Amino acid sequence: MKVDPQAGTYFFSMNVKMAPFQNAKIRRAFALAVDNKQITDYVVKQKNEPAYGFVSPGFKDPSGEDFRKHNGDLYSYNPKEAKKLLKEGMKEEGYKTLPTVTLTYNTDDEHKAVAEAIQEMYKKNLGINIKLKNMEWNVYQSEQKAHKFQFSRGSFLADFADPIDFLLNFETGYSMNSMDWSNKTYDQLIEEAKKEKNDTKRYELMYKAEKLLMKEMPLFPVLFYNQTELQNSKVKGIVRHPVGYLELKWASKK
């Protein structure tokens, strides 16, 4: 049995055009109230790493340092702070009671279990009851891209081995930007990173962009993906790419 990392992130999006998620403090409260480690250890139970930044481990900058290690945890589970932020955010918006929040996810037993765990955490840590809604994948995908969800499950698997593949998705107008978030500074950082030929400078731009994304918190990550497989000890020559895909072209059985 092998458990290998796979470059990708399981996360939840909060639509900043829909109440109450127009308020950054409320968004941050919803992030800090979720115990990612409890979800990975007791709900998913597949040896995933809890995520407290969007870019997954496995990408080295020119100095040889892993992107995730360099930027570190950009937030942490903190129910006390979450409750404080929720109170402050509600005061800013003039809410005596929080507007109804519905978490939508695509139909799947694991996604349901994660959503139910988060629902319970919000009840315990924030004193609020959120609703859950599920729908089949094809409908879910089109509805999410149309920005129709208030609060929804998201996932990303890297197409190529570079942090920019993760971060460009949250530029203004990108299809994966289902949270309708727009930030001119973020857009500028990503555009500069796309054009920058000096790799050290390029990574610095991406480090800043991820920090800004996690500060504004239009989404919060839960875990980094991995993949498990059984491998016969006689099989050799399997190539595991940095983003986690298996290449069997040169595999053989001795």
| pLDDT band of 192, cuts 50, 70, 90 | very high
Over 90: is that where the pLDDT of 136 sits?
A: yes
Q: How far apart are CA 250 and CA 243, in angstroms?
A: 18
Amino acid at 4: D
| pLDDT band of 227, cuts 50, 70, 90 | confident
Over 90: is that where the pLDDT of 21 sits?
A: yes
Over 80: is that where the pLDDT of 180 sits?
A: yes
| pLDDT band of 242, cuts 50, 70, 90 | low
Residue 87, token pair as written in the block = 């109170």
* pLDDT at residue 243, as a whole number: 77
For the stretch 59-117, pLDDT in tens is: 999 999 999 999 999 999 999 999 999 999 999 999 999 999 999 999 999 999 999 99
Give the C-alpha distances (Å, rounded to integers) separating 46 from 111, 188, 219: 14, 37, 23
- b vs e for 89-106, b when ≥16 Cβ sit within 10 Å of the residue's Cβ? bbeeeebeebeebebbbb
* pLDDT at residue 1, as a whole number: 83
Largest CA distance in the chain: 70
Mean pLDDT lowest for which of 151-165, 205-219, 220-234?
A: 220-234
For residue 134, the tally of other CB atoms under 10 A from its CB is 15
| pLDDT band of 247, cuts 50, 70, 90 | confident
What is the average pLDDT value for the chain, to the nearest integer? 95
* pLDDT at residue 147, as a whole number: 94
Degrees, nearest 5: CA angle 234-237-243: 125
With CA atoms as reference, report the closest residue to 11 among 201, 190, 120, 151.
Answer: 151
Q: How far apart are CA 1 and CA 9, in angstroms?
A: 22
Over 90: is that where the pLDDT of 238 sits?
A: no
Over 70: is that where the pLDDT of 123 sits?
A: yes
What CATH code is assigned to 2-253?
A: 3.10.105.10
Average pLDDT for 120-129: 98
Over 70: is that where the pLDDT of 248 sits?
A: yes
